[in-house]
Amino acid sequence: MINIVVAGFKGKMGLTATKMVIKNEKFTLVGVFDPHSVEKNLNEISEFSNTDVRVFQDKEDLVKEVQADVWIDFTIPAVAFQNTYFALEHGIRPVVGTTGFTESEVKEVQKLAQEKRLGGLIAPNFAIGAVLMMEFAAKASKYFPDVEITEMHHDNKLDAPSGTAIKTAEMIFAERGYHAQGNPEEKETIKGARGADYEGMKIHSVRLPGLVAHQQVQFGSVGEGLLIRHDSFDRSSFMTGVALGCEKVMSLNEIAYGLENLL
């Protein structure tokens, strides 16, 4: 059995992950963490009335009272890095779905994981279809270098562009390199109209109620176009990847960046 802690268990993704861990026969939920929670036990929440699991408001108390193998993190960008670093320092393998990590933060936790010889995973997207979308887009960019990315999420998402969009752009750049797009004389009459720029490609972020997680990668060429799109209509779509990550990190001694590295 793999002993698991879920941080950010009251958020929509954290809640879904908590339910997945409880239902999975390979996992044992040993604690949940939220510094703002008023509950002391998970069974105080109606949908977990039959689950006797301690709710922790302090990370130090958590590591003193439970033995955890894996730390699932679905918190917010402002605290995810500190949580991940804390988990590694205390011998817990992080599986992180919170986006917003900077490149330097990813490298810093990867360095600590190597020193500790602990496995971990930081995944901008846990949906298998989203991983395939990124892989297909990277391959297509060798033949269609002109590309724009549009990512669409619910209006409570805090970071923009999404981690998935950034990861997609990084994978495309690794294949095609820098490529200037559009008319060099173009002018934005409203600032930001053309979106963010990453190595020549544009990234656009949409935030609207009713959306979950969606992304399209649009390629244009002479006389033709190619559109690669992925849609997550429900957060349950991410749980296969989260469960896979929890199992795979147990045999790793470094942090993987991107679920595709475990497939």
CATH number at residue 195: 3.30.360.10
Cα–Cα distance, 180 to 196 (Å, whole number): 14
Q: For 72-92, how does the pLDDT look when each residue is reduced to its tens digit (9 = 90+)? A: 999 998 899 999 999 999 999
Asked whether residue 112 falls in the same domain as residue 242, the answer is: yes
| 171 pLDDT above the threshold of 90 | yes
Backbone region of residue 118 per phi and psi (left: phi > 0; alpha: psi in -120 to 50; beta: other values): beta
Q: Annotation-wise, does 164 bind a ligand?
A: yes
Cα–Cα distance, 137 to 175 (Å, whole number): 10
Q: Which strands form 201-207's sheet, in the order they lie side by side? A: 196-198, 201-207, 147-153, 213-221, 224-232
Task: Specify whether 153 is catalytic.
Answer: yes
Asked whether residue 57 falls in the same domain as residue 169, the answer is: no
Residue 77: the pLDDT is: 86
Residue 111: the pLDDT is: 96
Mean pLDDT score of the chain = 94
Position of tokens 């979308």?
A: 133
Structural domain boundaries, residue 219: 128-232
The count of structural domains within the chain is 2
Asked whether residue 53 falls in the same domain as residue 107, the answer is: yes
Asked whether residue 10 falls in the same domain as residue 117, the answer is: yes
Residue 236: the pLDDT is: 86
Q: Which residue among 116, 139, 157, 202 is the active-site one? A: 157
Residue 7: the pLDDT is: 97
Q: Which residue among 153, 204, 214, 248 is the active-site one? A: 153
Element (H, E) at 114: helix 103-116
Asked whether residue 51 falls in the same domain as residue 174, the answer is: no
Q: Annotation-wise, does 125 bind a ligand?
A: yes
Q: For 118-137, how does the pLDDT look when each residue is reduced to its tens digit (9 = 90+)? A: 999 999 889 999 999 999 99
Q: Annotation-wise, does 10 bind a ligand?
A: yes
* Amino acid of residue 208: L
147 closest CA partner among 228, 230, 220: 220
CATH classification of the domain holding 36: 3.40.50.720
Residue 75: the pLDDT is: 94
Query: What is 186-247 written as a DSSP string?
Result: ---SSTTTT-EEETTEEEEEEE-TT--EEEEEEEEETTEEEEEEEEE-SGGGGHHHHHHHHH
Q: Annotation-wise, does 39 bind a ligand?
A: yes
Angle ∠(119,157,85) on CA atoms, nearest 5: 25
Residue 129: the pLDDT is: 93
What's CA 125's distance to the chain center, in Å? 4
Asked whether residue 13 falls in the same domain as residue 117, the answer is: yes
Asked whether residue 47 falls in the same domain as residue 102, the answer is: yes
Asked whether residue 133 falls in the same domain as residue 7, the answer is: no
Cα–Cα distance, 182 to 174 (Å, whole number): 20
